[in-house]
């Protein structure tokens, strides 16, 4: 068996997240299906980050095993072709061949950016040293028609300075129970955040977070709580108290999935 590592970009809008499900379309399902159509082999594709429904990826990493050495360029082109065909087929069914409707649907919503043959010891999930996520908040009066499903629109003016001060306390090793979803299956609520960046980019506030691993909904729950600091609902100190409380009920809402991007993995 040869192990292949792939880099993926996707628009998560149409999918129930990464993880394979029987009755709902997922990214993992779509890729495994495309690989099967490409080389008639059943395989399991495992990713570095199991993104939730509606979450996007700019550079997700995954791996799978196949019998035989395939030219990696052929994998990229071949599997991408099958992903595109599946996407178009699904869209046509959705839209009953209404061409005006079809315009709105991505021709290809999952794409393999790169493929490499790797050692059989490489594991996209367990070999990962650092994962990075980015969250995009559009912070202006009106929504942006060109960024639908790409950002969280917050019309209240957010105080970036205060949000930055609040976020500082998250860096390092902490019990993140306050930002942990009740469905989280991690064995411990203790995680180490290596880096956080919060900055303005044109009309957006961008939140970037890097850690070895995350609790379920951790990034989105942090962003939902930082929003409350930004709009003055809670103070910087109260944000710190929320972290220390280790109680999900003290924190803010889960920020919408569409603003979150899985950015990168370091091995």
Bridge partner list, 204: 138, 201
Task: Assess 98 for contact with a second copy (CB under 8 A).
Answer: yes
Please tell me the distance from the alpha carbon of residue 156 to that of residue 27, in angstroms, as a whole number: 34
Q: Is 52 an active-site residue?
A: yes
Of 1, 101, 190, 253, the one binding a second copy (CB under 8 A) is 101
Least Å distance, CB 201 to a second copy, is 13
Indicate the residue among 15 and 214 with the shorter CB distance to a second copy: 15
- By the 10 Å C-beta count (0-12 exposed, 13-18 middle, 19+ buried), 53 is classed as middle
Of 30, 35, 112, 211, the one binding a second copy (CB under 8 A) is 112
Indicate the residue among 16 and 213 with the shorter CB distance to a second copy: 16
Choosing from 52, 69, 71, 161, which is the catalytic residue? 52
Nearest to 87 by CA among 13, 178, 163, 171: 13
Helices (DSSP H) in the chain: which residue ranges?
Answer: 27-39, 72-95, 99-102, 160-168, 218-230, 236-245
Task: Assess 99 for contact with a second copy (CB under 8 A).
Answer: no
* Footprint on residues 31-90 left by a second copy (CB under 8 A): 56, 58, 76, 80
Angle (nearest 5°) at CA 259 between 258 and 263: 105
- By the 10 Å C-beta count (0-12 exposed, 13-18 middle, 19+ buried), 65 is classed as middle
Piece of 62-70, 95-103, 205-213, 221-229 that binds a second copy (CB under 8 A): 95-103
Task: Assess 100 for contact with a second copy (CB under 8 A).
Answer: yes
Least Å distance, CB 115 to a second copy, is 11
Nearest to 137 by CA among 235, 254, 33, 259: 259
Piece of 101-109, 118-126, 160-168, 237-245 that binds a second copy (CB under 8 A): 101-109
Number of residues that bind a second copy (CB under 8 A): 34
């Amino acid at each position: 068996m040869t192990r292949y590592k792939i880099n993926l970009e996707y628009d998560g809008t149409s999918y129930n997240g990464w993880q394979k499900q029987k009755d709902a379309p997922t990214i993992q399902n779509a890729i495994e299906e495309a690989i099967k159509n490409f080389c008639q082999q059943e395989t399991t594709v495992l990713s570095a980050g199991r993104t939730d429904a509606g979450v996007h990826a700019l550079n997700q990493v995954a791996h799978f095993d196949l019998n035989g050495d395939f030219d990696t360029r052929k994998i990229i082109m071949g599997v991408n072709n099958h992903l595109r065909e599946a996407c178009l087929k699904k869209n046509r069914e959705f839209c009953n061949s209404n061409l005006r409707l079809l315009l709105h649907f991505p021709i290809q919503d999952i794409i393999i950016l790169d493929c490499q043959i790797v050692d059989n010891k490489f594991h996209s999930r367990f070999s990962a040293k650092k994962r990075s996520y980015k969250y995009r908040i559009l912070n202006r009066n009106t929504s942006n028609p060109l960024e639908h499903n790409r950002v969280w629109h917050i019309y209240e003016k957010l105080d970036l300075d205060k949000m930055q001060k609040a976020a500082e306390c998250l860096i390092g090793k902490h019990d993140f129970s306050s930002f942990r979803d009740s469905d989280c299956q991690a064995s411990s609520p203790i995680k180490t955040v290596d880096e956080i960046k919060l900055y303005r980019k044109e009309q957006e506030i961008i939140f970037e977070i890097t850690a070895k691993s995350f609790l379920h909904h951790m990034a989105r729950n942090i962003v939902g709580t930082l929003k409350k600091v930004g709009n003055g609902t809670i103070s910087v100190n109260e944000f710190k108290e929320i972290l220390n409380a280790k109680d999900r009920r003290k924190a803010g809402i889960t920020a919408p999935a569409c603003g979150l991007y899985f950015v990168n993995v370091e091995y």
